[in-house]
Amino acid sequence: AAAELLENAQAVLNRIDAEYAKWSNKRTLAEWNYASNLTDENLAEKINVSTAAARVMKQIAEEVNAFPWKNLEDENLKRQFSKLGILGVAALPENSYKEFESTISQMENIYSTAKICDYKNRSRCDLALEPEITEILMHSRDPEELKHIWVEWRKASGEQVKSLYPKYVELANTAARLNNFSDYAAYWMKDYEADDFPEQIETLWQQLKPLYLQLHAYVRHELRKKYGESIVSKDGPIPAHLLGNAWAQTWSNIAEFTVPFPGKQLPDVSDALVEQGSYNATSIFRLAENFFKSINLSAMPDTFWEKSILLKQKDTNMICHASAWDFYDGKDFRIKQCTRINMEDLLTAHHEMGHVEYYLQYKHQPTVFKEGANPGFHEAVGDVISLSASIPSHLKKIGLLKDDSTDREALLNHLYVKSLEKIVFLPFAYMMDRWRWDVFQGKVTPDNYNCNWWSLAEEYQGIEPPVDRSEEDFDPGSKYHIIADVEYIRYYVSFVIQFQFHKALCTKAKQYDPKNPSANPLHQCDIYDNKDAGNLLKSMLELGSSKPWPDAMEKIAGQRQMDSAGLLEYFKPLTDWLTEENKRTNEYIGWKSSNRKCVQ
Ligand X SMILES: C=C(C[SeH])C(=O)N1CCC[C@H]1C(=O)O
Q: Which residues bind ligand X (CB under 6 A)?
A: 249, 322-323, 348, 351, 491
3-state secondary structure 28-87: HHHHHHHHHCCCHHHHHHHHHHHHHHHHHHHHHHHHHHHCCHHHCCCHHHHHHHHHHCCC
Residue 441 near residue 185 (C-beta atoms within 8 A): yes
Residue 322's binding partner among ligand X, Zn ion, none (Cβ under 5 to 8 angstroms by kind) is ligand X
The three-class DSSP label of residue 333 is strand
Q: How far is the CB of 351 from Zn ion (least distance, A)?
A: 5
| Nearer of residues 92 and 246 to ligand X, judged by Cβ | 246
DSSP state of 501: H
Q: How far is the CB of 110 from ligand X (least distance, A)?
A: 18
Residue 594 near residue 457 (C-beta atoms within 8 A): no
DSSP state of 271: H
Q: Which residues contact 355 (CB under 8 A, 6 or more apart)?
A: 324, 335, 378, 381, 382
Distance, first Cα to last Cα, the chain? 65
Known catalytic residue: 352? yes
Q: Between vectors from CA 284 to CA 279 and to CA 290, what angle results, nearest 5°?
A: 120
| Nearer of residues 375 and 534 to ligand X, judged by Cβ | 375
Known catalytic residue: 472? no
| Nearer of residues 386 and 575 to Zn ion, judged by Cβ | 386
Q: How far is the CB of 490 from ligand X (least distance, A)?
A: 8
Q: How far is the CB of 491 from ligand X (least distance, A)?
A: 5
Asked if 569 interacts with Zn ion (CB under 5 A), we say no
Residue 80's binding partner among ligand X, Zn ion, none (Cβ under 5 to 8 angstroms by kind) is none
Total residues in contact with Zn ion, by rule CB under 5 A? 1
Helix (DSSP H) and strand (DSSP E) numbers for the chain: 24, 6
Residue 491's binding partner among Zn ion, ligand X, none (Cβ under 5 to 8 angstroms by kind) is ligand X
| Nearer of residues 379 and 473 to Zn ion, judged by Cβ | 379
Q: How far is the CB of 116 from ligand X (least distance, A)?
A: 20
Task: Report strand pairing: 463-464 vs 469-470.
Answer: unpaired
d(CA 27, CA 53): 7
| Nearer of residues 159 and 345 to Zn ion, judged by Cβ | 345
Among the listed residues 108, 130, 344, 352, the single catalytic one is: 352
Task: Report strand pairing: 333-336 vs 323-326.
Answer: antiparallel
- In terms of Cβ atoms closer than 10 Å to its own Cβ (0-12, 13-18, 19+), residue 414 is buried
d(CA 397, CA 382): 20
Q: How far is the CB of 384 from ligand X (least distance, A)?
A: 13
Please give the residues from 350 up to 379 whose contact with Zn ion meets the rule CB under 5 A.
379
| Nearer of residues 17 and 379 to Zn ion, judged by Cβ | 379
Residue 204 near residue 496 (C-beta atoms within 8 A): yes
Query: How distant, in Å, are the alpha carbons of 390, 511, 552 from that of 290?
Result: 14, 20, 25
Among the listed residues 216, 355, 481, 502, the single catalytic one is: 481
Residue 173's binding partner among Zn ion, ligand X, none (Cβ under 5 to 8 angstroms by kind) is none
Residue 347 near residue 400 (C-beta atoms within 8 A): no
Buried-state track 459-472, b at ≥16 Cβ within 10 A, e below 16 = ebbbbbbbeebebe
d(CA 4, CA 22): 28
Q: How far is the CB of 380 from ligand X (least distance, A)?
A: 11
Q: How far is the CB of 341 from ligand X (least distance, A)?
A: 17
The residue whose Cβ lies closest to ligand X is: 322
d(CA 550, CA 200): 13
Residue 526's binding partner among Zn ion, ligand X, none (Cβ under 5 to 8 angstroms by kind) is none
| Nearer of residues 108 and 379 to Zn ion, judged by Cβ | 379
Please give the residues from 114 up to 153 whose contact with Zn ion meets the rule CB under 5 A.
none
Q: At residue 185, what is the residue type?
A: A
| Nearer of residues 321 and 538 to ligand X, judged by Cβ | 321
Please give the residues from 376 up to 395 whose contact with Zn ion meets the rule CB under 5 A.
379
| Nearer of residues 336 and 555 to ligand X, judged by Cβ | 336
- In terms of Cβ atoms closer than 10 Å to its own Cβ (0-12, 13-18, 19+), residue 403 is exposed
The contact mask relative to Zn ion for 52-71 (x = CB under 5 A, - = no) is --------------------
Q: How far is the CB of 323 from Zn ion (least distance, A)?
A: 8
Buried-state track 540-556, b at ≥16 Cβ within 10 A, e below 16 = bbbbbbbbbbbebbebb
Residues assigned a catalytic role: 352, 481
Binding site for Zn ion (CB under 5 A): 379
